[in-house]
Amino acid sequence: MLPFHFPSWKLVYYYFTKWKKDGKIELIHEILRDKTRKQAGRASSPSVGIIDSQSVKTTSVGGLCRGIDGGKKLKAESGILL
């Protein structure tokens, strides 16, 4: 549910999908990130990226991606978060 001061969800969805298709959402994100970083006294572009991963338990039926996470010693699928 959208806040009461927003237009109808159909109109919001229309513009969101339009902006996503033509790349405006990414541009808005980049501009806001740069402004926020500058206000915090940092360089506009981040100099380092962090990659993290997690293991999740799966069902008892195995698949191609099933394995054992050596660090956690559990049968799981590993996912990479960016």
pLDDT in tens, 21-63: 999 999 999 999 999 999 999 998 888 888 888 877 766 665 6
Q: Which domain holds residue 71?
A: 52-81
The count of domains in the chain is 2
Do residue 13 and residue 35 come from a single domain?
yes
Residue 68 falls within a domain, yes or no?
yes
Residue 1 falls within a domain, yes or no?
no
Do residue 56 and residue 34 come from a single domain?
no
Contact of 45 with 35, CB cutoff 8 Å: no
**Per-residue pLDDT, 19:** 96
Residue 47 falls within a domain, yes or no?
no
Residue 4 falls within a domain, yes or no?
no
Distances from the Cα of 73 to the Cαs of 15, 19, 67, in angstroms? 46, 44, 10
**Per-residue pLDDT, 49:** 84
Contact of 54 with 78, CB cutoff 8 Å: yes
Q: How far apart are CA 29 and CA 37, in angstroms?
A: 12
- pLDDT above 70 for 72: no
User: Which residue's entry shows tokens 């915090």?
Assistant: 40
